[in-house]
A and B are shown apart, each in its own frame.
Chain A
Amino acid sequence: MKKELGIGSLVLVLCIVLSILNPRFLSLYNLRNQATLVGEFGIFSIGMGIVIITSGIDLSVGSAFALLGVVLSILLREWHWPWFLAAAGAVFLMLLLGLFHAFMITIVKLQPFIVTLCGLLIYRGLARGVAHDEAKGFGTENFGILRSLANGHFLGVPMPLVLLIIVSIIMWVVLHRSVYGRYLYAVGRNEQAARFSGINTNLIVGSAYVVSMGLAAISGILFAFDTNSVSPSNHGNSYELYGIAAAVLGGCSLRGGEGSIIGILLGSILLQVLQNLVNLVGIPSSQNFTVMGTVILLGVTVDQLLAGRKRRVTAPKVTGPPSGGSIPPETVGTQTGAPL
C-alpha cells in the first residue's frame, strides 16, 4: 500500500506541476485524449502485471497488436465477417497465442523471456506477411460497436477509460480476493512450496499468459480503431515495454509475487502523464524516451533506497535476536527488494 501511495503522490505532483506549466493540460480535449491512452495502455498493462507477478514476462504483446490489427482489418473489410464474429475471432487468435506461450513455458519448460521474445519476432513477421507489408485500415465504417469502443464516450468519459475501469474492478477482485489471485502470488513467490501445498502450478502460471493475451486483445482492438490504419511493421512497436514499465513502476517485482492492480493503474497513468509532459512543456519529442527512462530509473532508485533504509531500521527487531542461521541470506535479500 505504501508503494501505491508513493507513486500516487508522484502522479499528483506531476499533474499539478504540468497544469501550472501549461494550463492546456487541464483542457477537456487534452484530458479526454489522455484518458483514452491510459485506457488503452492500462488494460494490457494489467495483464502484463499478472504475468510479472508469477515471475514471468510477456515481450510479445506489441507484435501481437500488429498481428491482431491486420487480421481484424482483413476479417472485417476483405472477408466481410459480421463485426462480433470478427472481434471474437481476433480475441480467439490472441487467446491461442497465450495458450501457446503457456504450453512452451509450463510443459516444454522454456524460459518466459525466450518464449515471448520469439513471439515478438514471429508475430511481427506474421503480421507483415499476412498484410503483404501494407497498411491495413478500417475506413469510415462503424462495424457495430467496435469503433465506438475506441472513440466513443460514456457520460462524457472516453470508452477506453470506461473499459479500463471495468477491467480493473474485475481484475482487482480476481487478484486480491479470489483463490486464483492468492495462488498467483504464491506461485510467483515460491513455485516449489506452492506445489507442495497442492497448487497446480503449471495451470496457474500458464493461465497468466492466457489472461495477459486476453486483456491484450481488448487493448489491441482499441489501438487498431484508434489509429484506424495498422501498419504491420511498426504498429504496437515496443508497447510491451510500456506495459512492463507501468507494472514495475506500480510495484510489481520482476522476481515475482509482488504488485497490485491499483499500482499498475497508477503506473499506467504516470507513463501517459510523462509523455504528455514532454509534449506540453515543449521538450523535443525526440527526448520522449529519455524523459521516461530517467523518471522510471529515479522512481525505482528512490524506492530501493527507501526499502534499504526500512530494512536496516526494522529488520533486527522483527527477526528477533538475530541468530543468523535461522534466516538464510537469500531470503533476507528478497525481503524488501526494489521492483527491478
Chain B
Amino acid sequence: MPAPLLELKGISKRFPGVVALDNVSLAVEKGEVVALIGENGAGKSTLMKTLGGVHQPDEGEICINGNVASIRSVSDSVALGIGFVHQELNNLDNLDVAANIYLGREPMWGGPLRLVDRQKMESDSLIYLRRLGLDVSPRTLLSSLSLAQQQMVEIAKALSQNARILILDEPTSSLTQGETDRLLQTVRDLRDEGVSVLYISHRLGEIRQIANRVVALRDGKNVGGLAREQITHDNMVRLMVGRDVKNFYVAGSTVPRHGRLQARNVRTRFRPAHAVSFDAAGGEILGFAGLVGAGRSELMQTIFGVDAALEGTVMLDGKAITLGNVKSTIGSGIYLVPEDRRKTGLIVAMTVRENITLPGLWEYTTAGLISRQREDVESERQVKSLRIKTPTIEAKAMNLSGGNQQKIVLGKWLALSPKVLIVDEPTRGIDVGAKAEIYRLLRELTDRDVAVIVVSSDLEEVLNISDRIIVMREGQIAGTLQRDQFSEKSVMDLAFGTTAAA
C-alpha cells in the first residue's frame, strides 16, 4: 500500500506551561475529507498551524507522500501544496478578487520595471472562480463580497497555489444555511477532483454530511477516530468530551404567560421598506431564523437602540420604551448579547471584572465613586454561577476562550435584572461543553419569566432550543412556526421563500 498523501507522526508541541499537542499522529489519503473535532483548546488549531508553517513541532515529523517534509514557514507549507483557509479571513478587502488571489506572486511584465500583468492575473483568476462556481468578476472589490464569497476567494487562492491538501478552519461559522450547503458541495467537488480536505468544525451536522472520517482531539491528544458509518452526533460528542453529554438541549417547561415585549411596525435603516411586528412572551425562547442578511441582527440592534429606528414602537410590559437610546433600553431591562463578542460584546483588553460591571457601573458606586469591593463581589458571583473559567476576575477577557468570553457577555447582563434578553448567535465558535451550559442558562432565564430571543443561523440550534420560531426573509417576517411545525424543511422553506408564509 502506498504511503498516504499526508502523514503526521508523533507531533508534540509545548508552550510554556501547556502541552498543546502530545504525540499526535494522523494520516490523510488523497481525495478524502477528514474532519478534525474537539473542544476549544483541544489542539486542533495548533495542529493545523504546524501544518501551515506557523508553528514548528517540538517532536515528530510530517510526511508528504512518504517523504519527510520540513515545514519551517508558511511559504514552505504552500510550496508543499498545503492550502490553509483560516477562520478569520486574511484577505485585503480594499483590493479586488484577482489581486487577493495573486497577492505576493503577481504575474509580471515589463522586465526590470516589474509591472503587474493585470490581464493574465484576471484571466487566471477566472479559471479558479469558475471551478468553484463563484460568479463574480475578478475585478470586484473584496469588500463588496459576502463573507461566504470572500471565503471562496480564499479557497480559489489556495487552489491557484496548487493545493493538494486544503485546511478549512471553521469555514461555516459565519455562513448561513444556504451558503453552508454551497460550501459543502464545493468541498465534495474538490474531494472528487482528488483534493484532500482537513475540515475543522464545531457543527456536527455538517461533519455528518461530508466527512469520510473523523479524528477527535482532546487535551492535545488524538483520542480516536470514527469511520464513515460510525459518524453520529452522539459518537462525536462522546469522543470530544470523553463522556456522554446528557440533556444537550433543554426543553421548555414553562407555559408562556404574557407578551412581555411587543414590537410594532419597526422599520430599520437597513430595510427601510419593511416594517416588522412581533411579540415575545415571558418564559419562552423565541428563535429568529433566516439567512444572513435577512435583517435579524439589524432588527435586534434597532430594538436595543444601537441603531436608530425610522419608525415603530416597542413596548415592554405594556409601556413604550424610547427607541434609539441604548442607555434607556438597558434601564428598562432589555439587553442584547451581540453577534460579534470581540468587537461589540466585550472590551477584550479590559478585565473580566471591568467587563461584567460596565453596563451597570452606577450600581457599584458610592457618592459617584466606584466601589471596588462591590465590583469584586458581583463579578465573583457571576464567574461562579456561570462557571467562567478564568484564573482571576482580573484576567483580561482576551486571554479567555470563546466560550468563556461569551459567558462574560452573558454575565454583564445577568448582573443586572433582565426582562428581555436578546442573544445574537449565542454559540458561534464555541465548543460543545460551553454550548450545553449556555443552552441550560438560557432555559433557566425563562423560568424567571425572562423573554429570551435567540437569533441563530445554526439550524440545529434554533430548532432544538426554541419554543417558537420566527423566520425572517429580506427584512420581513416570513412566518412563525410553533413547536409542532418545527423541521429543517419548514424553516428553510420560509427562509428561501419557497412556500407562502405560514
A residues apposed to B, CB below 8 Å: 173, 177-179, 182-183, 185-186, 189-190, 192-200, 257, 313-314, 316-329, 331-332, 334-335
Contacts and interface: CB of A to CB of B under 8 A. Distances in A.
Contact of B361 (A182, A196, A318): A182
Contact of B401 (A178, A198, A320): A320
24 contacts: A179-B365, A179-B370, A190-B347, A193-B346, A197-B358, A197-B359, A313-B16, A317-B17, A319-B399, A320-B41, A321-B20, A321-B219, A322-B15, A323-B41, A323-B42, A323-B44, A323-B401, A324-B45, A325-B40, A325-B87, A326-B405, A334-B349, A335-B349, A335-B396
A298 B380 CA distance: 41
B344 A331 contact: no
Given A198-B327, A198-B330, A316-B15, 9 more contacts: A185-B350, A199-B327, A314-B16, A316-B20, A317-B16, A321-B46, A324-B49, A326-B401, A327-B399
A198 B362 CA distance: 12
Contact of B40 (A179, A193, A323, A332): A323
A177 B343 CA distance: 26
Contacts of B169: 325
A192 B344 contact: yes
Most chain A CB within 10 A, of B45, B86, B330, is at B45
A46 to B, nearest CB: 19
B402 interface: yes
Most chain A CB within 10 A, of B15, B87, B336, B354, is at B15
Contacts of A314: 16
A321 B41 contact: yes
A178 B368 CA distance: 6
B43 A178 contact: no
Contacts of B43: 321, 323
A196 B401 contact: no
Nearest to A324: B45
Nearest to A329: B88
Contact of B391 (A196, A200, A318): A318
Contacts of A192: 343-344
A187 to B, nearest CB: 9
B48 to A, nearest CB: 8
Most chain B CB within 10 A, of A183, A197, A334, is at A197
Contact of A189 (B306, B349, B412): B349
Most chain B CB within 10 A, of A178, A194, A318, A324, is at A324
Interface string B395-420: 11011111001000000100000000
Contacts of A189: 347, 349-350
A179 B306 CA distance: 21
A196 B345 contact: yes
Interface in B426-479: 429
A193 B343 contact: yes
B342 interface: yes
Contacts of A185: 350
A179 B405 CA distance: 23
A324 B46 contact: yes
Contacts of A323: 40-46, 401
Nearest to B88: A328
A179 B345 contact: no
Contacts of B280: none
Contacts of A182: 354, 358, 361, 370
Given A198-B330, A325-B45, A178 B40 contact: no
A310 to B, nearest CB: 12
Contacts of B398: 327, 331-332, 335
Contact of A326 (B331, B349, B365, B402): B402
A332 to B, nearest CB: 7
A179 B368 contact: yes
B170 A321 contact: no
Contact of B344 (A196, A327, A329): A196
A177 B369 contact: yes
Contacts of B350: 185-186, 189
B225 interface: no
A206 to B, nearest CB: 16
B343 A198 contact: no
Contacts of B170: 325
Most chain B CB within 10 A, of A190, A323, A334, A335, is at A323
Interface in B54-101: 86-88
Contacts of A325: 40, 45, 86-88, 169-170, 402, 429
B184 to A, nearest CB: 20
B386 interface: no
Given A193-B344, A193-B346, A195-B306, A200 B327 contact: yes
Contacts of B365: 179
A64 to B, nearest CB: 30
Nearest to B48: A324
A326 B18 CA distance: 16
Contacts of B492: none
B220 interface: yes
A229 to B, nearest CB: 42
A193 B345 contact: yes
B303 interface: no
Contacts of B400: 320
A322 B220 CA distance: 10
A334 B44 CA distance: 25
Q: 10 smallest A-B Cβ distances: which pairs?
A: A316-B15, A324-B45, A317-B17, A321-B41, A198-B330, A197-B359, A318-B399, A190-B347, A198-B327, A198-B326
Given A178-B370, A179-B361, A196 B16 contact: no
Given A179-B370, A200-B327, A322 B20 contact: yes
A179 B343 CA distance: 22
B290 interface: no
Contacts of B391: 318
B322 to A, nearest CB: 12
B421 to A, nearest CB: 14
A164 to B, nearest CB: 22
B88 A316 contact: no
A140 B157 CA distance: 76
Contacts of B88: 325, 328-329
A25 to B, nearest CB: 39
A195 B429 CA distance: 24
B263 interface: no
Contacts of B330: 197-198
Contacts of A321: 15, 18, 20, 41-43, 46, 219-220
Most chain A CB within 10 A, of B41, B48, B402, is at B41
Interface string B1-44: 00000000000000111101000000000000000000011111
Interface string B242-285: 00000000000000000000000000000000000000000000
